[in-house]
Structures are given as structure tokens and as C-alpha cells.
Amino acid sequence: MQLAYSNDRLASRMPADPSAAGEAEVESSVIEWLLHDDQVMRECFTHAAEILKSVTGAAITAIVLLDEEHQHYRAEVGMAMPLVSRARSLADYAVRDDELFVIEDAHRDTRFNDCMLVQRHPFVRFYAALALRAPHGEIVGALCAMDPQPGRLDDGQRGVFHHLRAMIENDLKMRTATAIDPLTQLYNRRFLLESIARRWKEARDGDVMGSVVVDVDWFKQYNDTYGHQAGDHCLRRVASVMQAAADNERIVAGRMGGEEFGLLVLDAHPAVLEHTLETLRRGVAELAIEHRASPLGVVTVSIGAALTRITELSRPAHRDGFASADRALYSSKHNGRNRVTMA
């Protein structure tokens, strides 16, 4: 394949879109992590895109991450790719099965009449992509190569796609093991604290960050009454409510240890945050997990939250936000538990 571009460079990340027919979608927290929080995976993506370009000769190679609405580009080689919605992307077709997806000339295929990459610069004609999966099997995105000229792949080039996918998915599996709490599937304490520090540092002046601490009420008594295996099951169910909140809002959620959880809320607004946290509190109570050692009869959570507007003075002080949230949590506990207190 004789291809045109020579101005190789890595480009900025873009938003992406995911929903493969019949496939379980990856949790948005994993996409957030891959987009913003892991340097090791960024380097893995870069190496894969560079190798793929060298082997295929394609003008552009990239890793594409998919969420529900958008297509996010990572580690593009060849040019910076424009923002594309998932509904108008080629990757949305590519992730519908596990086979290598190849279009030799998109201009001759009416399926792609509305595809932005085909109809606008870089006017893609050749496109090849292979779906990428998270450790539990959910679709994360795709490894792709594209070119403004028609093209095809030989057997050796097709094999490289599969070898690179195995490399990426293996690295993702190992990195997930170091970032995720195995019991709750939320971020673990170390990774949560690293993410909080990084997001706080990257925030712009004037942004408002929400620091939240969540504690399961009378959890020691729950373990004493029902046993540690039941306690683990309880924490998993509580964490699922927290993950649902994180998926619906711009929230980074993790387990701080034991029965305590931490949330960082990006672009927080007081009324919205309080509503979100009340929904979380009610969601846990509505699980209706029996708790005979609680005066409330079911498992509940107490929540403390604080808001910080980012300035030059507050930028290094992410710990202060969580210290305020911790004091608010103490107030929730002191005033009867099963409540939200805003500092």
C-alpha cells in the first residue's frame, strides 16, 4: 500500500462513542481512567499505533475509545483526528463483532454515506479496525488504521492487528489489577488518591471540585451479626450504587478502605451535588439489605461533602477538601446517620 502522509505526530485525545449491538458496554469509569489517568496505558497505545503504521503503511493509525455518545482518539499517528460522534463513526461498525473489520474503499459502500471521516477531511477510503476489550469482556474501543486511498491487507498485516490487540488487552488486564479494588470494582485507595491529586492539579481556575466521604453505617455490627462473607457482599452492593452515581455524573469513585469510600466530583454545583448524594443515600437504603444490628433495620450510609473553588491558593490543597468532607461526615454520624451533610 502506497500512502501519503509523512507528518507523524501524536495528537490530543478526542471524545468517543460506544454501543455495539448485543455487546455489554464497558463502564464509563474505565473509559475515564484510560482517557485521563494512566500513563502506562498511554504509552502502550502509542507503541501499538506506531507499530501498526509501520507494518500497514497506513496514513493514520490510532487507538479509539468508545463511550455511549462519542469516539475518543488516543495516540493518533499521522494526523490529529477531528471530533466524531459514535453514531457517525466507522469504529461503531468495527466493534460489532470480534473479527477484523476491513473496508477496502468506503466511497463505494453506501453504509458510510453519513460517516464524517469518509465525507470530510481526511476523506477516509481504506479502514481496518479490531475491537478491544476490558478484562471482563466489555468493549472498550478499537485499534484502527485508515487512509485516503483504497487499500487492502495481506495475511501478515492482519496477523499484526491480532498480536497488537493481545498486547494491549494484556497490559490493560495488568493495569486494571493495580488500579481496581478487587472486592468492589471501584478504584482502590492508592489509585483514587493519585487520581484526585491529578484532577485537582489539572483543574482550571474557577472550577469547583466536590470532595465526598461515604461511610456504611454500623458496619462492624453488620459483620459481627452476619459474618465477613455477608459483609463483603454488602459492600459490593453498596459500591454498585456508588458506581451508578459515578457513571451518571462526572465523579471519580473509589474505596478508601474497609467500609469507607471517597468521591471526587468534577465541575460540582451545590444543589446538583446535594441532589446526587441524596439519590445515592436513598439508593443504598432502597437496596433493603437487612441489618438487625442497626436501629434503622437496613444498611444505610452517612455522607459528608465539601466544595472547593480552584484558585492558585487552593490548587495544592486537595487534602483540605477531603478533611472538610470528613468533618461533615462526622456531623452526619453525630446527627443520627443515614444522612447527607454539606460542609
Q: Are 147 and 124 in contact (CB under 8 A)?
A: yes
What is the pLDDT, as a whole number, of residue 29? 55
Together in a domain, 210 and 293 = yes
Q: Which amino acid is at 97?
A: D
Q: Which three cell numbers stand for residue 216?
A: 456504611
Residues linked to residue 61 through DSSP beta bridges, in sequence order: 77, 145
63 grid coordinates: 487507538
Residues of the domain holding 226: 189-342
Task: Report pLDDT for 21.
Answer: 36
138 and 278 in a single domain? The answer is no
Give the cell for residue 116.
464524517
Same domain, 64 and 149: yes
List phi, psi (to 5°) of 188.
-80, 175
Question: Among residues 161, 179, 197, which one ends one of the domains?
Answer: 179
pTM of the model: 0.60
CA distance 3 to 151: 9
As to burial, measured by CB atoms within 10 angstroms (0-12 exposed, 13-18 middle, 19+ buried), residue 92 is buried
Residue 113 pLDDT: 87
Q: What local confidence, expressed as pLDDT, does residue 288 receive? A: 97
Q: 20 lies in a domain?
A: no
Residue ranges in the chain assigned as alpha helix (H): 28-36, 39-56, 91-94, 116-119, 155-179, 189-202, 219-226, 228-248, 270-285, 318-334
pLDDT of residue 182: 86
What is the distance between the alpha carbons of residues 187 and 179, in angstroms, rounded to a whole number? Answer: 6
SS3 content of the chain, % helix, strand, coil (to 5): 40, 20, 35
Q: Which of 154, 179, 204 is a domain's end point?
A: 179
Whether residue 150 sits in one domain with residue 266: no
pLDDT at 5: 28
Residue 23 in any domain: the answer is no
Find the CATH number of the domain harbouring 76. Answer: 3.30.450.40
Each of the 343 residues of the chain gets a pLDDT tens digit; together they read 333 322 222 222 222 333 333 344 444 556 666 665 567 788 899 999 999 999 999 999 999 998 878 888 888 888 877 667 888 889 999 999 889 999 999 999 999 988 888 988 889 999 999 999 988 788 889 999 999 999 999 999 999 999 999 999 999 888 877 788 889 989 888 888 888 888 888 888 899 999 999 999 999 999 999 999 999 999 999 999 999 888 777 898 999 999 999 999 998 999 999 999 999 999 999 999 999 999 999 999 999 999 999 988 877 777 889 999 999 999 999 999 999 999 9
Q: Is the dihedral of CA 17, 199, 267, 83 positive or negative?
A: negative
Residue 35 placed within a domain: yes
Do 169 and 268 share a domain, yes or no? no
pLDDT of residue 138: 86
- CA-atom Rg of the chain in angstroms: 23
For residue 62, give the C-alpha cell: 490510532
- Predicted pLDDT of residue 23: 40
pLDDT at 72: 84
Asked whether residue 33 falls in the same domain as residue 156, the answer is yes
Q: In this predicted structure, what is the pLDDT of residue 14?
A: 25
**What CATH number is associated with residue 216?**
3.30.70.270
What are 327's three cell numbers?
468533618
Please give the pLDDT value at position 121: 86
Q: Does some domain include residue 1?
A: no
Q: What is the pLDDT of residue 15?
A: 29
Number of domains in the chain: 2
β-pairing, 101-103 with 260-265?
A: unpaired
Of the residues 159, 179, 199, which one is the last residue of a structural domain? 179
